[in-house]
Amino acid sequence: MKIAIYPGSFDPITNGHIDIIERAVGLFDKVIVAVSKNFEKNPLFSERERLEMIEKSVVHLDNVVVDSFQGLLVNYASENNAKAIIRGLRALSDFEFEFKMALMNRSLKDEVTTVFLMPHAKYTHLSSSLVREVGELNGDVSKLVPSHVMKAVKEKFGIE
Ligand code: PNS
């Protein structure tokens, strides 16, 4: 069984993340979407809220499991018999950080391979941080996140 981990902060999950998950399920038998608990920045959404938003966003997909993890990603991958780590690559600006992370993870555990997937071009500019910023300023994020996430973002900022 080919198992992949799709790790991230998912604060909140966006349509770009969902696009990557949908591509990954076509390539792997099981995809574990894993929320990192070692989020140094102050997250807008709690771990539980992020997990719930992801769960709702992947109900249409059979072979997806939603979980959270603490500590080293490569250890979590091994514990779950995953040989692949999925990361989305949007633009060249992602590359340097992703390249360093992939090589560090490889040096920690050579048998876990990072696989980069590109989301649809319409999501190239999209990030959770932009969703938070635009949402806080009451901008329209309806094309960027599922409707339940949009509602949660508005509620977080006390916007009707
Ligand atoms: O969505 P993000 O914030 O880009 O995800 C980053 C994440 C959570 C994948 C990364 O920070 C991570 O893997 N953290 C777990 C701790 C770890 O293994 N660090 C070493 C990676 S080089």
Give the model's pLDDT for residue 39: 62
Question: If you count them, how many residues does the chain have?
Answer: 160
128 belongs to the catalytic site: yes
Residue nearest to atom 7 of ligand 1 (CA): 8
**Per-domain residue ranges for the chain?**
3-124
Ligand 1 pocket test, pick from 40, 101, 112 with the greatest ligand atom count within 8 Å of Cβ, gives 101
Tell me the C-alpha distance between 70 and 2, whole Å.
22
Q: Find out whether the peptide bond into 119 is cis, omega within 30 degrees of 0.
A: no
Q: Which CATH class is domain 3-124?
A: alpha beta
Report residue 159's pLDDT band, with 50, 70 and 90 as the boundaries.
confident
Residue nearest to atom 2 of ligand 1 (CA): 8
Tell me the C-alpha distance between 145 and 135, whole Å.
11
Residue 128 pLDDT greater than 80, yes or no: yes
- What's the pTM? 0.97
Task: Give the ligand 1 atom nearest the CA of 104.
Answer: 22
